[in-house]
Amino acid sequence: MDAAPGAPCGHFDGREHALAVRVYYEDTDFTGVVYHANYLRYFERGRSDFLRLAGIDHTALLGRPDPCAFAITRMTVEFLKPARIDDTLTVFTAYDRFRGARLLISQRIGRGPETIASADVEAVCIAPSGRPRRPPRDLVERLAPRLLVPSAP
């Protein structure tokens, strides 16, 4: 379940994960500014690579005897400044706490020292049927050292 050697999945700085993202032409509108929906893609990459670097693999979650996945149920995004073609951005992700089946996540996108977008995210652990379920104990234990508010499964 660990990332492949050399895989571009960022790094941890304390409990926060940092992932470098380059803005490509395909990410922008005709003015060279990142199209708003692409920030959601950057945030998704940050959340996925956080889990990957923490040793949690989406494919392995579905292959468990008690399979599960995550679905986003709420996301509030604040766009502060535009990102532009060729910018190098950093997606910062912090998994804050579990609350039952819900997982609360804080994210921001930086360009150098400035934050250009931020998001508060609520994900829910689900069974393959789509019904919410508590996350498996070993998943909670793997994330516990990085949670803002540790919780019991």
pLDDT at 3: 47
Tokens standing for residue 51: 């889990």
**Catalytic amino acids?**
29
In a domain, 7, yes or no: no
Residue 11 resides in a domain: no
Can you read off the two tokens belonging to residue 120? Answer: 């508060």
Residue 151 inside a domain? The answer is: no
Confidence of residue 151 (pLDDT cuts 50, 70, 90): low
Q: Each residue of 114-146: pLDDT tens digit?
A: 999 999 999 999 999 999 999 999 999 999 999
- CATH number, domain of 98, equals 3.10.129.10
pLDDT of residue 81 exceeding 90: yes
Encode pLDDT of 36-61 as tens digits.
Answer: 999 999 999 999 999 999 999 899 99
131-136 LR contacts (CB < 8 Å, sep 24+): 132/100, 132/101, 133/68, 133/101, 134/100, 134/101, 135/68, 135/98, 135/101, 135/103, 136/64, 136/66, 136/68
Residue 6 lies in a domain: no
pLDDT at 2 over 90: no
In 3-state terms the chain splits into helix, strand, coil percentages (rounded to 5) of 25, 40, 35
Q: Which residues of 74-98 are buried (b: 16+ CB within 10 A; e: fewer)?
A: eeeeeeeebbebebebbbbbbbbeb
Q: Tell whether 5 is covered by a domain.
A: no
In a domain, 130, yes or no: yes
Domain membership flag for residue 4:
no
